[in-house]
């Protein structure tokens, strides 16, 4: 008798066409910022949900201006996601106080992920963007085991200190059979306001050459701009708060690339 794979238990979420994992090998590279703006950009043309799966450090409620809001339970006893900028949202941050620590072991994380995937009334979605915690832990494995993920978007900064962690994350996705859609290089450069020239904030490492060896395309370069962080603090993504800016336009291009890679029929 053939051994049962843990991935045999995958079940699609009814009504959800594509699940996109947004991941980073390490923290502090802007993964949640990319996930938030990618979801908002996709939401301009598609039906989109955003799941904050960073159980220990949820940031989506603040980034989308929905702190202290609580989801309702509908008559089917499912959680109704909150709605911001046309995007359906779910986060552990809606269920606990912002200053409360989540002290859970693996089994509780698995149960929480199952509830966020199965017990939330997601409805009809073209894309469900999942903001994963940094690293390669229980939440990533739980997502891969429970639902068919259409693809992953990796977020990194340019330098080699991030590359080591990118390699680990890519290896994880390869092991669990999740397709790498591409890499978004965040804080790739800064524009000198005096002359418009690009300034490299970080030393350029071997990130691009590594991605080429893995046949993983770079699908976007986000410049460093304090306005992106200010927009997140204000709860209005840069895609909404400064639509004409270079940063918002780059997020819109990334969303278009994702649509090409994962078309909706």
- Residue 63 has which token pair? 């980034």
Q: At what angle do helices 226-234 and 31-42 cross, to 10 degrees?
A: 70
**Cα 169-171-177 angle, rounded to 5 deg:** 105
Measured between alpha carbons, how far is 32 from 22 in angstroms, rounded to an integer? 8
So what's the pLDDT on residue 3? Answer: 47
For position 251, which CATH number holds? 3.40.50.300
Token output for 92: 């552990």
Whether 132 maps to a domain, the answer reads: yes
The verdict on residue 171 lying in a domain is yes
Q: Are 1 and 247 in contact (CB under 8 A)?
A: no
Q: Label residue 132 left, alpha or beta by phi (over 0 means left) and psi (-120 to 50 means alpha).
A: beta
1 domain-assigned: no
With a CB cutoff of 8 Å and minimum separation 6, the contacts of 179 are: 150, 151, 152, 173
CB 23 within 8 A of CB 31: yes
- The total number of structural domains in the chain stands at 1
DSSP-based three-state secondary structure for 34: helix
Please give the structure tokens belonging to residue 142: 């739980």
Q: Tell me, yes or no, whether 265 lies in a domain.
A: no
- The CB density around residue 103, as the number of other CB atoms within 10 Å, is 7
Residues, the chain: 265
CA–CA separation, 250 vs 248, rounded Å?
5
Specify the pTM.
0.92
- Is residue 5 included in any domain, yes or no? no
Is 50 among the domain residues? yes
Q: Where are the beta strands (DSSP E) in 176-264?
A: 180-186, 190-191, 198-199, 218-222
Q: Which domain holds residue 92?
A: 13-260
Rounded alpha-carbon distances, angstroms, from residue 127 to 76, 212, 228, 263:
23, 27, 23, 10
Helix (H) / strand (E) containing 232: helix 226-234
Cross-strand partners of 48: 127
How distant is the alpha carbon of residue 201 from its chain centre? 24
- Whether 17 is covered by a domain: the verdict is yes
Per-residue pLDDT tens digits of the chain, which is 265 residues long: 444 455 557 899 999 999 999 998 778 888 999 999 999 999 999 999 999 998 888 899 999 999 888 899 999 999 999 999 999 999 988 877 665 556 566 677 778 888 899 999 999 999 999 999 887 778 888 899 999 999 999 999 988 888 888 899 999 999 999 999 999 999 988 888 888 888 888 878 788 899 999 999 999 999 988 889 899 889 999 999 988 888 999 999 999 999 999 999 8
8 belongs to a structural domain: no
Q: What is the pLDDT of residue 261?
A: 97
Determine contact, residues 46/127, Cβ cutoff 8 Å: yes
């Amino acid at each position: 008798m053939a051994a049962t794979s843990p991935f045999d238990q995958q079940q699609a979420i009814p009504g959800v066409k594509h699940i996109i994992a947004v991941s980073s090998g390490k923290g502090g590279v802007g993964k949640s910022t990319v996930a938030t703006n990618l979801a908002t950009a996709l939401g301009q043309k598609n039906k989109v949900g955003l799941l904050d799966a960073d159980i220990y450090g949820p940031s989506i409620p603040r980034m989308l201006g929905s702190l202290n809001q609580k989801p309702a339970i509908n008559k089917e006893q499912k959680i109704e996601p909150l709605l911001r900028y046309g995007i359906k949202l779910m986060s552990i941050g809606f269920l606990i106080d912002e200053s409360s620590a989540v002290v859970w072991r693996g089994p509780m994380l698995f149960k929480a992920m199952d509830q966020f995937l199965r017990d939330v009334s997601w409805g009809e979605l073209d894309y469900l963007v999942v903001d994963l915690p940094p690293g390669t832990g229980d939440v990533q494995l739980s997502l891969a085991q429970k639902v068919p993920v259409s693809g992953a978007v990796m977020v990194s900064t340019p330098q080699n200190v991030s590359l080591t962690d990118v390699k680990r994350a890519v290896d994880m996705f390869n092991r669990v059979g999740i397709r790498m859609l591409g890499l978004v290089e965040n804080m790739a450069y800064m524009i000198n306001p005096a002359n418009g020239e690009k300034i490299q904030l970080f030393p350029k490492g071997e990130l691009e050459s590594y991605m080429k060896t893995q046949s993983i395309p770079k699908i976007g370069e986000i410049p460093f701009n304090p306005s992106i962080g200010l927009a997140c603090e204000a709860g209005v993504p840069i895609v909404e708060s400064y639509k004409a800016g270079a940063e918002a336009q780059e997020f819109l291009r990334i969303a278009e690339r994702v649509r090409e890679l994962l078309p909706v029929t």
